[in-house]
Amino acid sequence: MKRIFDIIIAFTVAIGVWQLIVWLSEVPHYILPGPLRVWNAFLFDFWLIMEHAQITIAEVLAGLVIGAALGMATALHLMISPSARRFILPVMVFSQAVPVFALAPILTLWLGYGIGSKIVMAILIIYFPVASNFYDGLRRTNPGLLDLAKTMGASDTHTLLRLRLPAALPSLGSGLRLAAVYAPIGAVIGEWVGSSKGLGFLMLLANGRAKIDLMFASLFVLALFTVALHALVGRFSKRLADWSE
């Protein structure tokens, strides 16, 4: 309850500072609209914003689920396969030298302007954090427990499932929390590069028509969704940490 109260206070102060800046600077509303103007734009174009928001939400959720599953599978494969660590791990590290955002135009060219290219963009941006965090967690199992399991004749499979996997759940949770923040970024950047639907497209459209209040309203809807998704994944990650104990 106290945390919710603190969030409300911080949000209220931020809105007040925003309005104060608008009043003192007397900046034109088509450059920086005030909070009330943005709220009115949200109410006036509510259904338009929701229509585009559901596209972005679908892209983010699909990218998050698929990207997290691929990252987890990769981490497990790296843990059980020396050849995978030899060949796949260097490729994963090298892939991070390529800015993921630079791939958005290529994905749009290959997969078109539909939802597919945005889902792939979200997958690419969250895949490495999930795989990297989970793999690190799998490797950092208590050495004493591993020695005990080896002494008792436990197989590699049992050691992985009974020791390494539970111990790595908090690290997996950290990777998922990062993914919850990164996935909307990937989807929206994909929409900026080329799309006809989604909050990213709506923001570009509003900016081109100098409807900055609508652009801000769309941005805040995206931010609220990201915060809600992060909170939901954070709660799930806490469950994972509890299961590992």
Q: Which residue has the higher pLDDT, 3 or 24?
A: 24
Mean pLDDT of 97-121: 87
Q: Which residue has the higher pLDDT, 152 or 74?
A: 74
Q: How confident is the model at residue 41 (pLDDT cuts 50, 70, 90)?
A: very high
What is the structure's pLDDT at 104? Answer: 86
Q: How many CA atoms does the CB half-sphere of 41 hold within 13 Å? A: 24
Long-range contacts of 80-84 (CB under 8 A, 24+ apart): 80/156, 80/160
Containing 100, the helix (H) or strand (E) segment is none
pTM higher than 0.85 for the full model?
Answer: yes
What is the structure's pLDDT at 7? Answer: 75
3-state helix, strand, coil in the chain (%, to 5): 85, 0, 15
| 123 and 70 Cβ atoms separated by less than 8 Å | yes
Mean pLDDT of 126-147: 86
What is the structure's pLDDT at 86? Answer: 87
Mean pLDDT of 140-145: 76
Q: Which fold is adopted by the domain 2-15+33-244?
A: MetI-like fold (1.10.3720)
118 pLDDT above the threshold of 90:
yes
Q: Which residue has the higher pLDDT, 43 or 28?
A: 43
Q: Which residue has the higher pLDDT, 156 or 57?
A: 57
Mean pLDDT of 73-88: 90
Give CA–CA dist 4/42, Å, rounded.
23
Domain coordinates of the chain in residue numbers? 2-15+33-244
153 pLDDT above the threshold of 70:
no
147 pLDDT above the threshold of 90:
no
Residue 52 burial (10 A CB sphere; 0-12, 13-18, 19+): buried
What is the structure's pLDDT at 16? Answer: 87
